[in-house]
Each structure stands twice: as C-alpha cells, then as structure tokens.
Structure 1
Amino acid sequence: MEKSGKIFFVLFLSLVLAGCQKEQTEISGYQIYRVNADGTVLEPEDYTPQASGGDALIQEFVDKLGEVPAQVGHKKAIPDGVGITSVKRTEQNLRVDFNGTYSKMDNITEVFCRAAVVKTLVQIPGVETVEFTVNGQELADVQGNPIGVMGDDSFIDTKGEGINSYHSASLVLYFADKDGKKLVKEMRNIHYSSNESLERLVVEELVKGPENEKLRSAVPADTKILDVTVEKDTCIISLDKAYGQTGAAAVTPEAAVYAVVNSICENCDIDKVQIKIDGESEVKFRDAVDLSQGLTRNEEIVVQPEENGTITPGVGVDPALKE
C-alpha cells in the first residue's frame, strides 16, 4: 500500500526543538531566531527593534538575522557565505531570494536556517507567509518538489519532548467546496516531529481549515481530537461532539466524514478510518452516516480537477477554483 509521491520523508534529523515556541514575554514581543552552538536547536532571542513596521522593520530583521549573536552559546542560523539578495513583499507574503551558496548547505543546516528565517519574519505585522527562492528559482526539496509558502505553523516542535526525528511531508487534504457538498483537494507542505503520528497531524491540519478562501472547512475549528490510534490497516479517530454540532448547515454530513476519511487514506498507510464521537462508535453521524464500521475512501464525492490540472504544493487547490 505504498503511497509513493504523497509523503516525502526528506530529513531524518536528530534534534531537540525545545524552546522553539517560547512565549513572547518581553514588551517588544519580537524574537530573532538563532541556533545553539551545535546547530541542533532553535534559540529565540528577545529583540526590541528600532523600526515600527513596514519595509523598514523587514530590512531590520533581515539584517539582524545575518549578524553574529551577542548571546554566548548561540550562533546565527544563516551560515557565512549564504546571503539574502532581495526581499519582495506581495500582500501578506514575503519572497526571500538567496544566493547560490544556499544550495550548498547540508539538510540539517538548511532546515534550521529556513525555520529561523520564517519564524522571525512572520512576526512582522501583516506578514503571514514566507517563500524562498535561490537565484530567482523556487526552492525545492530533495525530491524536486517545490517547498512553497511557509508560515509559523509549518515548523511543528514537540514542546520539549526530547530528541526526535524531523520530517517534511507534502499532504493532500480534502475540504468542502463552496456548496458544502463535494470535496476538493488542497496540498500543503509541513514539517513535523516523529513524536507526533502522521495520522494525528492530518486531522490537526483539517481542523485548521483550508488556505483557499473558496473552500470550506469540513471539520469545525473548535473540534477537539481526543485520540488517534492505528490497528493494522485501520485508523481510529475519536473526536468530541463539536465535530458534529458546529457548522452543520454549511457542510453536509457526508462531506464532513469523508474529508477525514479521504485525507487519512490519501496520506497514510491506511485502508479504513473509523470515527468515534466522544469515544462512541455506535453513532449515526448527524442522522446520516453510520460510523459503527470503518469507512474506506470515497472518490465519488471528490471534485476532479480539469484535464491536465495539478495541485501545487504549499498553495495547492484544483485549477478550476483559482479563477
């Protein structure tokens, strides 16, 4: 049941991500991200900028990222020789272009450099995502797949749970169309710890909702994930009652259920998905879908892209919805 082309495990890094999400407690509320002396841990440093916002603040943060940290035990995440040649802002996205030396970094150094730059720049008011290019060409992973736009939640830590493996994945997720009756694919790149199961990660991304404003979330934002387990070829997901009570009028019960089922089966080595509500499986979801048995993916509910259409990693919606 190999799902080639779906998940790319491009990095197996031994690292500790403790401290990556340190709360901003200083008055300034800003942090410049560094790495520790071994280059294996992101280290945020509180920073009070001189600029108040806009392009001036962007340039100040870029300059600061290139400076040697004053704090003992920290070093800059952008290695010597790797230079930022330009930064262009388009609405809420920053496109950061690097010189060719960027491509010479090893995988560990590169992912920490990328995480430090993104997590530093998305703190700027009005900046939601960052995109990398190298000599004007879009940055790609080791499989040749475009990295695409990245946000603060593109880099998921394990909140101090210890040494772990760090993976990068291209997820194909299913969200409801504007009518709430059919499902549409959306693709996004994510980095995550092996301390978190891929199945749980997929559900968490569904709860976050779609990037495309023309799509609807099939899983309410206030849904709590109670448990996610795998038994042989079946993934068992327990969600709280909010899953079936919020947004019921906007999305059909079939779309709400198969958004989860199709997304899990698409990205994980899973044939069936059983959804429980508050731990109970003997449930007829919104009086329409029987959840007592494991469900297999449903292709009939999926809006198929136009002929020769593709979905773009990190941006990723069916071409018909881009207009």
Structure 2
Amino acid sequence: MKKMISISLILAMLVSMILGGCAGNKKSGGIQLFYLNMDVTKIVPVDYELKASDTEGQIEELLDKLASDPEENDIRRVIPKDVSVQGYDYNGYLLTVDFSEEYHDMSPTEEVLSRAAIVRTLLQIKGISYVAFTVNSEYLQDAEGKVVGGMNNESFVENPGEQINTSLTTTLTLYFASSDGTQLEKENRVVHYSSNISMEKLVMEQLLEGPKTKGLQSAIPSETKLITISVVDGICYVNLDDAFKNQNAEISEAVVLYSIVDSLTELQTVNKVQISINGDTKGKCRYTYDLSNMYTADQSIVVQDTQEETSQPEAGTEETQITTGGK
C-alpha cells in the first residue's frame, strides 16, 4: 500500500531548516544543485555549471546529478539509490518527473526535503515554472488523497507574517450544475482552510469535492485532478488532468466551463480564467469553447431566483490541515 505523504506538521518544523540551507549565491552563468545534509535535516546548495545547452539535455543532466552521490563527503544524494527516475514530460512550463514505486518508501522528513531539493534545482532551468511528481505515472498525493500538483519555490516557503499551520475561515461562492444540467446554481460555503493555500486553489479543491446542497451536481467530472493553478495579472490559469475530458453529456458545456470561471472570478484577485488540460490549451472544453481563450464571468446561465444556502461545516468536523506543499 502506498504511503500518502502528509506535511502538515513536517513543514512547520522544517521550513526554517530548508531556508537556512539555501543560503549562498550562484556562480555567474551557473546554477546550484541542492543536496541533503547527512542528518537529513536541511538541503544544501552546491555551485554547479551546466554542460548541456538545450532544455531536455539540462533536465536529464540535473536529474542524473541528483540521483548520484555528490563529490563532497558531508552531503548526500537527493534521489535514493533504490528510487529510479522512470521518465519525464515537459510541456513548455510544467515539468513532470515520474519516479518508481520505491519513492513511497522514503520517510516523511526525507520525502519533503528531497522534494524541495529536486524542485528548487529543476526550477533553475529556463522555461520551467512548475515541477510535478508522479509515481508509476500516478500524480503524487497527500494524506487526504489530493494531488500535490505542480510545485514552485513558494511551495516550500512559509507565508510572510503567518504561522504555516494557521487555520482560517472564509465563505466561498461556488457554482454547481442544476439537477437537469442546463444551468448553474450558487452555493455559499463556509470553509476552514490553512494559511499556506492560495484562495484560487481552495476554490478549485472545493469545486472538485462537489456540492453539499441537495439537488445540485458537480459540473466537473469527479475523477478530475488539479495539476497547477496560478494567478498572473488577474488571469487565473487552471491546469487539469485528462479526466476533465470525461464530461457528463447531460451537463451542458457552458455549465461545465462557467462553473469554474464564475467560481474563480468571485475572488477579487481573478478577472479572467484560462483552462488547460495537462498544460495544453489546444482544443476545446468539449465542442464549442476554445481552451486558448480567457473567459470572464457570465451570470446568464445562473439561476437567479433560487434561495441561497450557506453550507456550514458539520459539528465535530476537524479543520482543514496542511496536506500539500503547493500554493
């Protein structure tokens, strides 16, 4: 049985160690390789000059270095000897690295630090904005079974001015499909969440969980996984996996699209939304809506006369804990 890695408590203890081990400047024209110290308590940067000039060559070169013993005696390799890199996929901004099943044999502490070291090293390659992990072609999951998704440097940094495990409460406005799948209906949901998760990711996670209001249904296929999500200049980029294509034909395409768009644009930081599938914006949401377009909110298919309900957390329900390193 696979180990599901929870970092709720681990990151709280290790974030300062990670940051402390990342001091130092890169050589001019070079990068830094990140290794583990012998006690597996922090990551250690080592100056390095890339030999390959093309992106794929650099990816392979760095993965090979991280899977090899370093020359220095006081640090250790990042990828354990019994863990193999089975391949990788690079789509222009997202690099997905596939590891063998033995990846799950690492202790939680070693896994978090190794993941941070690998991600920090690979993000130095020009053009790579996010790094995701798969194990035997399945996306790495946390203790709650949620996909960890694409990671960047912020995935391993504590939010300024906040404790990493601070629990907050907010009310989200989410849009789900009506019972006949032709319209959207609004659901206001009170959510407890951790301070290191971005609001746009919180919205998508709640959408993927489905509605709590009787008579509504999720417009997004239930098996869909969120790979990455980010906001740049008011545009929210949502990257979903292939399962998004397995849409219920009884739910209209517009309802599927605007369930995501209208929910995300309720956030003050989001004005437009672009959806991609495995990082690809070619093709359509189903038949009509081009993925290459950026969509603004559209309330025309939202039921306006339905009494709004606020979904409260059940009594005794534990507050959401940190289970991913990503934002």
TM-score by length of 2: 0.51
In the alignment, the residues of structure 2 paired with residue 155 and residue 172 of structure 1 have an alpha-carbon distance, to the nearest angstrom, of 24
Superposition deviation, residue 315 in structure 1: 2.8
In the alignment, the residues of structure 1 paired with residue 60 and residue 166 of structure 2 have an alpha-carbon distance, to the nearest angstrom, of 29
Show CA shifts across 1:108-134 (max 9, x none).
111111111111111101111111111
In the alignment, the residues of structure 2 paired with residue 9 and residue 114 of structure 1 have an alpha-carbon distance, to the nearest angstrom, of 13
1:231 corresponds to: none
1:38 corresponds to: 39
Superposition deviation, residue 138 in structure 1: 1.4
1:151 corresponds to: 152
Report SS of the residue matched to 1:12: helix
In the alignment, the residues of structure 2 paired with residue 173 and residue 115 of structure 1 have an alpha-carbon distance, to the nearest angstrom, of 32
Equivalent runs, 1:71-82 vs 2, <5 Å: 71-82=72-83
In the alignment, the residues of structure 2 paired with residue 94 and residue 172 of structure 1 have an alpha-carbon distance, to the nearest angstrom, of 33
Superposition deviation, residue 102 in structure 1: 0.7
Superposition deviation, residue 52 in structure 1: 2.0
Q: Per the alignment, do residues 84 and 9 of structure 1 end up closer, same or farther by CA in structure 2, a change over 3 Å counting?
A: closer
1:18–1:158 CA contact under 8 A, matched in 2: no
In the alignment, the residues of structure 2 paired with residue 167 and residue 53 of structure 1 have an alpha-carbon distance, to the nearest angstrom, of 40
Equivalent runs, 1:150-169 vs 2, <5 Å: 150-156=151-157
In the alignment, the residues of structure 1 paired with residue 9 and residue 27 of structure 2 have an alpha-carbon distance, to the nearest angstrom, of 34
Report SS of the residue matched to 2:219: coil
Q: Structure 1 residues 9-18 or 84-93, which shifts more? A: 9-18
Given candidates 212, 220, 228, the residue that maps to 1:315 is 228
Superposition deviation, residue 34 in structure 1: 0.6
2:9 corresponds to: 12
The residue type equivalent to 1:83 in the other structure is S
In the alignment, the residues of structure 1 paired with residue 170 and residue 29 of structure 2 have an alpha-carbon distance, to the nearest angstrom, of 38
Superposition deviation, residue 19 in structure 1: 3.1
The runs of 5 or more residues in structure 2 that have no matched partner are 174-185, 207-215, 230-237, 239-254, 262-274, 276-284, 286-327
Q: Per the alignment, do residues 63 and 22 of structure 1 end up closer, same or farther by CA in structure 2, a change over 3 Å counting?
A: same
1:192 corresponds to: none
Report SS of the residue matched to 2:228: coil
Report SS of the residue matched to 1:103: helix
The runs of 5 or more residues in structure 1 that have no matched partner are 1-7, 160-164, 176-182, 186-196, 212-261, 267-303
Superposition deviation, residue 139 in structure 1: 1.1
Equivalent runs, 1:243-282 vs 2, <5 Å: none
Equivalent runs, 1:125-274 vs 2, <5 Å: 125-156=126-157, 198-199=194-195, 201=196, 205=198
Q: Per the alignment, do residues 167 and 83 of structure 1 end up closer, same or farther by CA in structure 2, a change over 3 Å counting?
A: farther
In the alignment, the residues of structure 1 paired with residue 56 and residue 170 of structure 2 have an alpha-carbon distance, to the nearest angstrom, of 34
Report SS of the residue matched to 1:72: coil
Show CA shifts across 1:226-263 (max 9, x none).
xxxxxxxxxxxxxxxxxxxxxxxxxxxxxxxxxxxx98
Report SS of the residue matched to 1:95: strand
In the alignment, the residues of structure 2 paired with residue 46 and residue 106 of structure 1 have an alpha-carbon distance, to the nearest angstrom, of 27
TM-score by length of 1: 0.51
In the alignment, the residues of structure 2 paired with residue 65 and residue 142 of structure 1 have an alpha-carbon distance, to the nearest angstrom, of 26
Superposition deviation, residue 57 in structure 1: 1.0
In the alignment, the residues of structure 2 paired with residue 42 and residue 315 of structure 1 have an alpha-carbon distance, to the nearest angstrom, of 24
In the alignment, the residues of structure 1 paired with residue 151 and residue 145 of structure 2 have an alpha-carbon distance, to the nearest angstrom, of 17
| 1:117 maps onto 2:118 in alignment | yes
Report SS of the residue matched to 2:87: strand
Report SS of the residue matched to 1:315: strand
Q: Per the alignment, do residues 64 and 305 of structure 1 end up closer, same or farther by CA in structure 2, a change over 3 Å counting?
A: farther
Superposition deviation, residue 70 in structure 1: 1.6
Show CA shifts across 1:32-58 (max 9, x none).
111111111011111111112311111
Report SS of the residue matched to 2:46: strand
CA-based RMSD of the aligned residues comes to: 4.2
The residue type equivalent to 2:142 in the other structure is D
Q: Per the alignment, do residues 103 and 166 of structure 1 end up closer, same or farther by CA in structure 2, a change over 3 Å counting?
A: farther
Report SS of the residue matched to 2:120: helix
Equivalent runs, 1:26-105 vs 2, <5 Å: 26-105=27-106
Report SS of the residue matched to 2:53: coil
1:69–1:76 CA contact under 8 A, matched in 2: yes
Report SS of the residue matched to 2:133: strand
Percent sequence identity over aligned pairs: 26
